Structure 1
Amino acid sequence: MRNMLPAAITAIMSLSVLAACGTAGNESGKPADSGNSSTAPAASSAAGAGGNASIKGKVTFLTNRTDMVDKEYKEYAKRFKEKYPNAEIEFEAVRDYDKTLKVRISSGDFPDIVLVPTIPNADLPKYFAPLDDLGLNDKIYFKDYKATGGKTYGIASGASTVGIVYNKKAFQAAGITAIPKTLDELYAAMDKLKAKGIVPLASNFKDKWPLQSWVYDLPPAIAGTANVANDRIKSDAPYTLDGAYAKSFGILKNLHQKGYLEPDINSTNWEQSKKDVASGKFAMYLLGNWVINQVIENGAKSEDIGFFPMPYDNSGKINSPLNPDWFYAVNKNSKNAETAKAFVKWMIEDSGFDKFAGFIPVLKDKQPELAQLTEFKSFNPTFIEGVPDNDQAIATQNKAQIDPPAMVQDFVLGDGKAVFDKFNKQWADAKKSLGY
């Protein structure tokens, strides 16, 4: 699930946003001063004429950030209640978020505030309340990406790009003096790291969800178009050995075969990997800028963590994806829907979560504060802006029960052709059954 950043942000990133990042993000748990904390709520049913007194009752936010529940979210709850004394926010965290939430929304029993799962935009009104009354539509990016029928049902929590997050001390220890700009140079750097006893790249293969970068981010960069996933609907066999998916998965397969990943990829651990990258035991991730602050929180100094575009061939020219992260949504059947909406607005304007997460803020007038984005931009990648999900492609993927990260796992460990034949059949059968 990857969506488009409007053209306006390209100009921002080129002219000021990334160049302005002079302060490294941190994950201390202290709220960031977003510059918007004094902004009065818009005149709306969620925070309008009734003022703070109209926001009341308890709401629950179902989050994917399992690492924040007993830490930063406690402070969020305290600060939200300070603004809205009659309201209370609770947090519930789950792993395998997309799959778990789709099961729960299908039953009709799900929390007040969630992150939008991979469902067709046409289905959004079945489950979620419109958020147009929050007064944010003219202030944010991506307002049309989780929208249908002229109404906005999801607001992005932030934006990010994807590349190589690396430990500079690990590079120094291995004698790497220049950042790799081609795939062969990346392999050569990994050889040096491996020779020094440093794991070149943390794949988090077993955890599966970190493999999304190899599905949603690298293929569009390789293809030079953000329509790779959407274009699948044009074919009964979208997964080919000469296509962008195979090229992306093939790089990971090669890394595994060369011994550049964790010694046992079937027993990886996401939380431990952050500590290992922070300490320099592991050298790199292929992930978004959102992980940088998490590595810093796990013991690294900000100045020791860098970020550069992923070189996927030897041309010397690099495309990089630019996408929104998860979108907040409100259960249309929430007993305290106005409070739930107020919390979404508070998360965007007041919480400081974008700084904490290392995001490019979704508010148009707010600058990111992650120094590593400046380094990333210095390599002059061409940003491939995401596009809205094609409803037919999403519906076909869901009907076929295709789990893209699981496909990556199968491809890396098995025969690529056999794997693609299997998923192409599932795709074709689902597409036919849906009448596409």
Structure 2
Amino acid sequence: MKRLLLKGTCTAVVLSVAMSVLAGCGSGQNAAEQSAAAQSTAALETPAPGSKSEPVKISFMDLWAKDKAENISTSVREALADFQKNNADIIVEEEAIGDQTAYYTKIKTLAASNELPDIFICKGSELAMFAKNQAVAPLDEILDADAAWKEGYVTSAFDDLTSDGKIYAVPYSMLSTHVIYYNKKILADAGVQAFPETWADFKTMIDKIKAKGIVPIALGNKEQWVAESCILSTLGDRFTGPDWFNGIKDNKGAKFTDPDFIKSLAALQELGKAGAFNKDMNSINNDQQKTLYFNGKAAMFMEGSWAIGAVMAGPEEIAGNTEVAVLPSVDGGKGDPKSMSGGAGSGFASGVKGFGSKKEAVAKVLKAISGPEYAKSIAEKGEPTAYKVSDYDKSKVSPLAVKYAEMASKLKFTPIYDSYLNPAVVSKMNAGLQELLISTITPEELAKRIQAEYEKVK
């Protein structure tokens, strides 16, 4: 999803003024005198109503560049701005890291030293590891304390964010990590009138577009996650079906060296060999892949539902000609072609170090950036919400978001690999996919490499 996908104080009350015990309150006092002194000190330590106090500071780390125009990042920042206007006693200090690789490297470093931010974005797979190492705080207590907030989330919203029965993050969207955004005019000019429904026709389309001197699929895999999260998580399921992945996830005998998974790797490499992607695919990121598309140099790109906002904010001619689709069926595949990788995937978690003393402030911020008002905002941008919302202005929803919603209503979600697999396995897979796409490794070799890492950590 990759994806989020943003990687405190027990009460949100004001900090008390530190007071020392008066010299006269010595050991020779009687009980009444000591009680009076204690009451006097307590009165001094408790700020009078309306008095100024030092605000609680909440550190918030996310992986969205400051100029990000995507719907979720925009809505989160709008929600934070509104929150700050109405909560002068809490200051949210955002640290935006616009590179996913750098973001997750920093998160892991902070987790190792128990210095995770008060609130940060985290994938489900990372959460399980952090929870095991007691680096993140379970959020059940603050959620249970506000039943209306907890029960407002849609069914299965917490599935990707739960470990050993405890909830470690709140979701900010139920997103798909796989959507094919394509320019219908470019396809029509290449002789393709309808998006392919079979893998054979998909490859024929690639050849026709390439013959026009246009990059068929813009790919920005510099940060390594796009090929896995936005392509392979869905392509893999087309071949293996969900039972295989459940066998991997639950350690029930499935292997990455199983023939069906190797077929999915071979299919992805086949696209690379056919020139389906731009040659610099491993040197540019997902924002740059969209730039190729916006400039009319690529016929399509594959990314998550979060890219809807960026497309609508792009050139009018491109936005107006953009349609959405998913990968077609494959011969002999065990997966449902009417599916796409998706789910909550990531959520807002809280570092355990600051959570105990900032609990109520953290809860307030989390609710503001994931609860009903925030959900209304992203619903009006056409994003699938993790929170139940019906009272929103549907006239604000963009035409592309409507198209996506219509398509998504006919599809089901399949697992996002990096939401469930051990981070070490994901890292090995993602790095290997870069090699696979430029054919410096075979599908069989990569499968063995991933399986070896899986055996190491399972």
TM (norm. structure 2) is: 0.71
1:323 paired residue number = 343
Q: Which moved further from structure 2: 175-184 or 139-148?
A: 139-148
**Per the alignment, in what secondary structure is the counterpart of residue 352 of structure 2?**
coil
Alpha-carbon separation, structure 1, partners of 2:174 and 2:225: 18
Distance 1:355 1:259 in 2: 37
Q: Comparing both structures, which one devotes a greater share of its residues to helix? A: 2
Matches within 5 A, 1:22-171: 56-68=55-67, 72=74, 75-94=78-97, 95=99, 96=101, 97-117=103-123, 118-120=126-128, 123=132, 126-130=135-139, 131-132=142-143, 133-135=145-147, 136-141=149-154, 142-148=157-163, 151-161=166-176, 162-171=178-187
**Which of 213, 219, 229 does residue 236 from structure 2 map onto?**
219
How many angstroms does 1:134 deviate by?
Answer: 4.2
User: Which residue is 1:250 aligned to?
Assistant: 266
Compute the displacement of 1:374 (Å).
4.7
Q: Distance in 1 between matches of 2:167 and 2:408?
A: 35
Specify whether residues 357 and 364 from structure 1 end up closer, same or farther in structure 2 by C-alpha distance, changes over 3 A only: same
C-alpha contact 1:163 1:286 (8 A) present in aligned 2: yes
Aligned residue for 1:140, secondary structure, equals: coil
Work out the CA distance in 2 between the residues paired with 1:148 and 1:261.
37
Cα drift, residue 389 of structure 1: 9.3
Partner of 1:306: 323
For 1:147 and 1:372, locate their aligned partners in 2 and report how far apart those are by CA, in whole Å. Answer: 32
Q: Percent identity?
A: 20
Q: Which amino acid aligns with 2:150?
A: N
Contact kept, 8 Å, 1:160 with 1:360, in 2: the verdict is yes
- 1:363 is matched with which residue: 370, 387, 406? 387
Comparing 263-272 and 228-237, the one that deviates more:
228-237
Alpha-carbon distance in structure 2 between the residues aligned to 1:187 and 1:219: 17
CA gap 1:428/1:326 in 2 versus in 1, 3 angstroms? closer
Alignment partner of 1:427 is 2:427: no
1:155 deviates by 1.1
Cα 1:92–1:356 shift into 2, 3 Å: farther
Provide, for residues 262-313 of structure 1, a one-character-per-residue CA deviation record: whole Å limited to 9, x for no partner. 0333322432222221232111122221112122223345432211121141
* Residues 59 and 118 in structure 2, CA contact (< 8 A), matched pair in contact too: yes
Any stretches of 5+ residues in structure 2 without a counterpart?
3-9, 14-48
8 Å CA contact retained: 1:157, 1:354: no
- Describe the SS at the equivalent of 2:300: strand
CA distance in 2, matches of 1:204, 1:398: 21
Q: Is the contact between residue 81 and residue 88 of structure 1 (CA under 8 Å) also seen in structure 2?
A: yes
- In the alignment, the residues of structure 2 paired with residue 371 and residue 163 of structure 1 have an alpha-carbon distance, to the nearest angstrom, of 16
Q: How many residues align?
A: 382
Partner secondary structure for residue 60 of structure 2: strand
- What is the alpha-carbon root mean square deviation over aligned residues? 3.8
Once the 2 structures are TM-superposed, how far is the Cα of residue 381 of structure 1 from its aligned partner? 5.0
Cα-to-partner distance string for 1:155-179 (whole Å, 9 max, x where unaligned): 1110123231112332233332112
Distance (Å, rounded) in 1 between the aligned partners of 2:118 and 2:150: 21
Question: CA separation of 1:216/1:178 partners in 2, compared to 1, >3 Å: closer, same or farther?
Answer: closer
1:336 maps to 358
Deviations 1:163-204 (CA, angstroms, capped at 9, x unpaired) = 311123322333321121111221222222212221110121
1:353-381 per-residue CA deviation (whole Å, 9 max, x = no partner) reads: 63487530111234784644554545985
C-alpha contact (below 8 Å) 1:290/1:357 kept by paired residues = no
State the match for 1:403 in structure 2: 428
Q: Between 56-65 and 376-385, report the one with greater CA deviation.
A: 376-385
Partner of 2:37: none
Write the distance in 2 (CA, Å) between the matches of 1:271 and 1:380.
27
Letter in 1 for 2:195: I
